[in-house]
Amino acid sequence: MSSFRTSIFLSGVTTIIGIGGMIFAQHPALRSIAGLSIIGICIVLILTNLFIPIAFNWLVSNQTSAKFYPLTFQNILATLLAYVMLIVGFLIVTSGAILVYRLFFLPINKRKYLIHYLLYAWAKVYIGVLFWRRKKEIDIRNIDLIKAGIIVSNHQSFIDVPYLFSISPKIILTTNDRIYNNPIFGPVSRLCDFLNVSAGIENMEAKIKQLTDKGYSIAVFPEGTRSNDNQIHRFHKGAFKVAQELQLPVIPIVIHGTGEFLPKGKFWGRRNNLTVKYCGPYSHFCNGSSLITYSDASKEVCGIMRREFLELKANCAGPDYQSRRLILSNLYKSPLLEWYMKVKLKLEDDYNFMNRHLPQEGTIYDLGCGFGFSTFILGLSAENRKMIGIDYDEFKINIAANNYLASDKISFLAQDIQKVEFIPCYGIIFSDVLHYLTPDGQKSVLKKAMKSLQPAGSIIIKDGDSKLEKKQKMTWFTEFLSTRLLKFNKSNSGLNFLNSNDLLQLAIENGFTCEELQSRKITSNKVWLLKPIDR
């Protein structure tokens, strides 16, 4: 940005000197032209040196330096909608609750239920608007709110609170002094009988028993605070002690997606999917059995919810989900890069096929990674993978390495793949890169890759098959566009495409199976999967 600002400043100064000098002319038309030019150039200089850097820092730099995605107009509107609806909704519920309380001809229990129903109706609308056609609830039949119980849920965003309200009008939330005394949320908390558990939920057993006897369920976030790393942390045991004392079932609910919408510590968020898994009720306390303590129950339920949460992330936060994060991370860099990325992700189906055939954990090399699209998506789709992207093109590697999604689990290296010294690994990807090597170079790097692969590992090769002579012409044409015309890829030598028969022979000689996974209809491109025979 500094170089652009310097060039614009010099251009502005020369324009002011060259045309602005006419301000001293006698003819009024010349003075008018000079005056307009000076004003216009000064405005350009102010925009360039003040407003544009401020906008760029707000939209991009401040976000990515905090490992967050750049802001877009759509996400800014979605965030403001979430806040405005929350505040306005609570004010409406508070006003409605005050009016309902004045209906003295109704029994107090009926008035209380109407207030809870008002909160429930607003929460339904709130979640429905924010996650329009983006909400999915799994095994909802596992929750039976006719019977009172203790609902425990993970906590990643304040949106979790209205979601719990949207389940049923007979849910009471536990809260703390900060919310209970808040000028906006406090009145609703008090009018709707929220439980202030700042002194400990186990000290409110009598109040909880009164509410559960009336059929209300108590909703608790046993982590105590919102998680900021998309994980479920250690549970506090107070809710489980109450469940044991009152012989109530524990109802675990796992929420995924709200932390991506509005995470802890961030004001701005982005639209996202909401997925909720209703786990089966944990009913060990209901039969009066003393075989399990509330402390053990806390650990057991925490373990269940962590497993369910990992399964949710595996099913809901796969390559399709991660591709949206990747697109956001590359905004404002280059329109051509953004276009190329979207086309590439579309053609590769967000790398779903690679994700299915690669191990879910261990070190995986992505050779010929380019801008790192596949490296990022495969690394983000499995928490226990360590992805290493390697490419000959230093420019592409610099772009990938400076992405805020890069971490110690997703790293990049600019190097010739023939010179890579592989460490023992569980996966190696050769993505449209082998045809840039000589036939001897291809055999050498493949043999080295096979030797470094662990018994449970896999090698994925994506390249053209020279055996398909008719389709090979289209493959040559696409490579011409890529290397010569658009210049997205570099090539210091000719193109030497693989022959599937030679690849099969090489795999057998080194103790590997060779399976064809994909074949393109127009080009000769194929995807092969190599695995050790004796694994």
- For residue 212, give every residue at least 6 positions away whose Cβ sits within 8 Å of its Cβ, in sequence order, or none: 148, 149, 218, 246, 248
Range with the largest mean pLDDT of 171-185, 309-323, 441-455, 476-490: 441-455
pLDDT at 409: 93
Task: Return the closest-CA partner of residue 378 out of 404, 350, 397, 400.
Answer: 350
Q: From residue 441, how far is each of 425, 426, 458, 493, 502 by CA, in Å?
A: 21, 22, 20, 12, 14
The kind and range of the H/E element at 251 are strand 250-256
Task: Return the closest-CA partner of residue 244 out of 305, 166, 300.
Answer: 300
- 3 state DSSP class of 477: helix
Do residues 114 and 102 touch, judged by C-beta distance below 8 A?
no
- For residue 184, give every residue at least 6 positions away whose Cβ sits within 8 Å of its Cβ, in sequence order, or none: 87, 90, 91
- 3 state DSSP class of 513: strand
Bridge-partner residues for 253, per DSSP? Answer: 153, 278
pLDDT at 388 exceeding the cut of 90: yes
Determine the straight-line distance between the first and last CA of the chain, rounded to whole angstroms: 53
Residue 285: pLDDT band with limits 50, 70, 90: low
Do residues 157 and 261 touch, judged by C-beta distance below 8 A?
yes
- For residue 513, give every residue at least 6 positions away whose Cβ sits within 8 Å of its Cβ, in sequence order, or none: 507, 530, 531, 532, 533
- 3 state DSSP class of 288: coil
pLDDT at 35 exceeding the cut of 70: yes
pLDDT at 125 exceeding the cut of 90: yes
The model scores a pTM over 0.85: no
Task: Return the closest-CA partner of residue 376 out of 387, 364, 391.
Answer: 387
For the chain, give the number of residues.
Answer: 535
Give the pair of three-digit tokens for residue 2. 């500094």
pLDDT at 397: 94
Q: From residue 511, how far is each of 124, 440, 455, 502 by CA, in Å?
A: 59, 19, 11, 14
Q: What is the mean pLDDT of residues 231-256?
A: 88
Q: What is the mean pLDDT of residues 185-197?
A: 77
Do residues 418 and 426 touch, judged by C-beta distance below 8 A?
no
Give the pair of three-digit tokens for residue 266. 């961030």
Task: Return the closest-CA partner of residue 480 out of 470, 469, 491.
Answer: 491
Averaged pLDDT score across all residues of the chain: 85
Alpha-carbon span 72 to 65, nearest angstrom: 16
Q: What is the mean pLDDT of residues 113-123?
A: 90
pLDDT at 197: 77
pLDDT at 484: 56
Question: CA geometry: angle at 487 spanning 500 and 471, to 5°?
Answer: 30
Bridge-partner residues for 135, per DSSP? Answer: 274
- For residue 484, give every residue at least 6 positions away whose Cβ sits within 8 Å of its Cβ, in sequence order, or none: none
Alpha-carbon dihedral sign for residues 447, 451, 452, 458: positive
Do residues 239 and 297 touch, judged by C-beta distance below 8 A?
no
Q: From residue 5, how far is each of 2, 42, 214 by CA, in Å?
A: 5, 13, 68
pLDDT at 386: 95
Residue 288: pLDDT band with limits 50, 70, 90: low
DSSP 444-470: HHHHHHHHHEEEEEEEEEEEEBTT-HH
pLDDT at 333: 85
Alpha-carbon span 513 to 168, nearest angstrom: 55
pLDDT at 225: 84
Do residues 392 and 490 touch, judged by C-beta distance below 8 A?
yes
Alpha-carbon span 469 to 83, nearest angstrom: 60
pLDDT in tens, 506-522: 999 999 999 888 777 66
Alpha-carbon span 382 to 402, nearest angstrom: 21
Alpha-carbon span 60 to 482, nearest angstrom: 29
Do residues 78 and 271 touch, judged by C-beta distance below 8 A?
yes
- 3 state DSSP class of 121: helix
- 3 state DSSP class of 62: helix
Which DSSP category does 204 fall into?
Answer: G
